[in-house]
A = this chain, B = another copy of it.
Amino acid sequence: MPAIELIGLDRLPEINKGDELGELIVRAANDAGFKFLADDILVIAQKIVSKAEGRLVDLKSVRPSGKASEIAERQRRDPRLVELILRESRRIVRMDDRVLITETRHGFVCANSGIDHSNIPDSETVALLPVDPDFSARQIRGQVAQLLGLTVAVIITDTFGRAWREGLVNAAIGVAGLEPLVDYRGKPDDHGHLLTGTVLALADEVAAASGLVMSKSARRPVVVVRGVAYIPREGSAKGLIRPSERDLFR
C-alpha cells in the first residue's frame, strides 16, 4: 500500500548566524543513525533559517515611526515590533485592535510579516523571515547534495493563519527541487471524466504534514518527508502566491 513517512530530526544544536544548515542537518542525521535517500523532502522551519542567516533583530536597536507607534497603541503592542512588521511589509492587508495582517516583501499574506520571538534565547530579540527563502532552500539543497551526493528537495516553512479557519498550519515559504503545484487539469478521474480546476498545492501539503512532527515547544525544526511523488524542478514558493489581481481577499 502506498505510504509516506514523516521523520523528525532531533539533536540539532542551537543555530547561530553563519551556520551552514545543510552541514548541521547532515551531521545531526549521522549522529542519529539516520540515512537520507534520494528524493527525500527536507522540511525546515523558518526560525532556524532566519537564525543562520542573521535575521534576528534586537528590539533595542529599533526606533519606531509615528505610524508604528499609532498602531502599537491601538493594539497595545511594542511599537518597535510594529515598526519591524511595517518595514518587512509591502502593505497592510487587514488590521483591527488585535491583529495586523500584512503582505510581506516576498508577497506572503500573514500576521505580523512573519515576525515572532518564540524559540529565541533573548526575550528582546525577534526573528524576521529570511530575505529570500527560495535562495535559502537552494543553498541547503546544494550543501546536502555536496556532502551526501544525494538529490533531495527542500521546503522552508512557517506557521501561518488562514482566512475563515481557526488555528495555524505550516505553509511553504521557500522551495527548492520540486514543483510546488500539481496540475490535474485535463487528466481523467476514475470514471474517465476530465478533472477541471484541480491544482493541488503539494508543497503546502508537505509543509502542513511536517507540522505534525515539528513541534512548537520541542527543538525539532527539521522533518524528512519520504515517499511523496513529486515533479523534480528548480522550484520556488513564488508560484504558491496568488497574484493580487486574481485574489478576491487582498
* Given contact pairs A1-B34, A118-B198, A212-B209, A166 touches B189 in the complex (Cβ within 8 A): no
* Given contact pairs A199-B166, A201-B166, A187 touches B217 in the complex (Cβ within 8 A): yes
Residue in B119, B121, B166, B209 whose beta carbon sits within 8 Å of that of A205 in the complex: B209
Residue in B5, B99, B180 whose beta carbon sits within 8 Å of that of A4 in the complex: B5
Q: Chain B's nearest CB lies how many Å from the CB of A2?
A: 4
CB pair B166 A181 closer than 8 Å? yes
Count contacts on A: residues with CB < 8 A to the other chain: 74
Copies of chain A in the complex: 2
CB pair B94 A249 closer than 8 Å? yes
Give the segment of A63-71, A144-152, A234-242 that binds chain B: A234-242
Complex alpha-carbon distance, A188 and B225, angstroms: 27
CB pair B4 A240 closer than 8 Å? no
Asked if A76 CB lies within 8 Å of chain B CBs, one says no
Q: Which chain A residues numbered 173 to 208 have a C-beta less than 8 Å away from chain B?
A: 180-182, 184, 187-191, 193, 195, 198-202, 204-206, 208
CB pair A208 B204 closer than 8 Å? yes
* Given contact pairs A6-B4, A166-B240, A211 touches B205 in the complex (Cβ within 8 A): yes
Chain B residues, CB < 8 A from A240? 165-167
Give the segment of A7-15, A17-25, A81-89 that binds chain B: A7-15
Q: Hey, which bits of chain A sit against chain B, CB under 8 A?
A: 1-10, 32, 34, 94, 96, 99, 101, 108-109, 117-121, 123, 159, 162-171, 180-182, 184, 187-191, 193, 195, 198-202, 204-206, 208-209, 211-213, 216-220, 225, 228, 239-242, 247-250
Would you list the 10 A-B pairs with minimal beta carbon distance, nearest first?
A: A167-B201, A208-B208, A209-B209, A163-B249, A109-B164, A163-B163, A94-B248, A2-B8, A4-B6, A205-B208
